[in-house]
Structure 1
């Protein structure tokens, strides 16, 4: 990330104080690590399943978008805003219990676009989903 862009020295405290939004909170998403290099959060399977007991595919996407968008906003700095413009997910395994953990790594951090990959694994460390999100970075609207 460009050093010219302002970022809090304690990024985990920044993201915790900012909050994740009501959807992520309802889903039980918890940040574990948040730094300029990567972001990690976890989410319970219970309460986020399809009728057959598998973690809902959309839940993987919510976890991925929460991580990628928050990390993009850290990169954007205090006078800019990152907004999602594209997201996709490939589900390769189904979690049925415990927690899943998303590890978000930036692939591209530019002035106007960011791209992040989020690898979601189950409690045994097996990859369940791979999410990629692209965010557009914009100036905050004038007040």
Structure 2
């Protein structure tokens, strides 16, 4: 299944309409053979009360890019994808700019997938490290 970078990113970004991803302004920005990258602006909409990026928004970004990465690599005509578990270790805070989440596969099985998602800021500082497991099941 050979997909162009432009086609993958357009498909993913169109799927974000009227969803949490659109609300958080998450955008898929890069795609390669074994990764997908998304970005999210950091402003008051995703801040904690003390003015830094909320960990829940970071987890939503990580789960979004990880789930989309799985979608890219499975036949979504026959299968649907769901997240099973996500973990997030927050290492540094961010007040503004963008955060970028790059999802790469640790395991790409027929039924289960495991992704490593590193979240960085505009200066490539590591903000959070996340792990997402997904499951691909037959559509009925």
Q: TM-score, normalised by structure 2?
A: 0.90
CA RMSD after TM alignment = 1.5
Which residue is 1:34 aligned to?
31
Cα contact 1:7–1:74 (8 A) shared by 2: no
1:24 Cα deviation (Å)?
A: 1.1
- Measure, in 1, the Cα distance between the counterparts of 2:109 and 2:126: 28
- Measure, in 1, the Cα distance between the counterparts of 2:18 and 2:139: 19
Which residue is 1:60 aligned to?
58
Which residue is 2:88 aligned to?
89
Q: Which moved more, 1:32-41 or 1:12-21?
A: 12-21
Within 5 Å, which residues of 2 pair with 1:119-130? Answer: 119-130=118-129
- Measure, in 2, the Cα distance between the counterparts of 1:74 and 1:22: 18
- Measure, in 1, the Cα distance between the counterparts of 2:34 and 2:92: 26
Say which structure is richer in strand: 2
1:31 Cα deviation (Å)?
A: 1.1
Give the total of aligned pairs. Answer: 136
Unaligned runs of 5+ in 2: none
Helix, strand or coil at the partner of 1:118: strand
Helix, strand or coil at the partner of 1:25: helix
1:15 to 12, 17, 22: 12
Q: TM-score, normalised by structure 1?
A: 0.88
1:50 Cα deviation (Å)?
A: 0.2
1:80 Cα deviation (Å)?
A: 0.7
Cα contact 2:118–2:126 (8 A) shared by 1: yes
Which residue is 1:3 aligned to?
none
Unaligned runs of 5+ in 1: 1-5
